[in-house]
Amino acid sequence: MTRALYLGSWRIDVTVRDGVMPPASAAALGRAIARAAEAGGAPKPASIGLILSADAELAVLNATHLATSGPTDVLSFPLLPPEAFPPHPGGSEWATGTIAAFPLPPRRRPNLGDIVVSVERATEQATHGHGGQTGDIRWTPADELRLLVTHGTLHLCGWDHADPEEEAAMRALERRLLAGG
């Protein structure tokens, strides 16, 4: 099932795979994505895809795209290069914040990319005390899911955590966004 949410400048297409029962509403996750896209400096208006899935699909995607075996909690598939976003401390060194605008058909939004989350993994991490940014937080599965979609959206916006400075900046922004609701 796919549902389109329009939140300000953002269209968020939420797809829930068969058999997946998200612990948070599509609207709550959409609001988290919209806040993160705004904070991440995403061009607007734009669209973002969110796919709520299970470990099996994330394991296949993880193996295919990252050559890593087993499931993961969240994967992001950005469609714009990091230089399409303003420079920020959570971005790669070569991001310039300048990119030529590309023409779109009238009334079309650029798609920033897709975020795929394992609801199964999010629930397990949260309930077994392996959630949060540090991997040692026990909180609700809904809170873990909000963290994961926030994290995934920031990746779509060119944020990363490959080095300590980037990670500190990205984690600080995530905490600020999650504290906001």
Going from N- to C-terminal start, the domains of the chain cover 2-179
* Residue 96, token pair as written in the block: 């310039």
Confidence of residue 100 (pLDDT cuts 50, 70, 90): very low
Identify the DSSP state of 82.
Answer: G
CATH code for residues 2-179? 3.40.390.30
Residue 163: count of CB within 10 angstroms of its CB:
10
What's the confidence (pLDDT) of residue 104?
A: 54
Identify the DSSP state of 114.
Answer: E
- Range 14-37 average pLDDT: 97
**Higher pLDDT, residue 96 or 140:** 140
Confidence of residue 99 (pLDDT cuts 50, 70, 90): very low
Query: In this structure, is the dihedral angle defined by the CA atoms of residues 70, 75, 80 and 84, taken in order, positive or negative?
Result: negative
Identify the DSSP state of 95.
Answer: -
End-to-end Cα, the chain, rounded Å: 26
Chain centroid to Cα 41, Å, comes to 14
Q: Which residues pair with 123 in a beta bridge?
A: none
Confidence of residue 97 (pLDDT cuts 50, 70, 90): very low
In a 13 Å sphere around the CA of 150, the CA atoms on its Cβ side amount to: 26
Residue owning tokens 């798609």: 111
* Residue 74, token pair as written in the block: 């969240």
Q: Which residues pair with 33 in a beta bridge?
A: none
Q: What is the pTM of this model?
A: 0.89
Confidence of residue 106 (pLDDT cuts 50, 70, 90): low
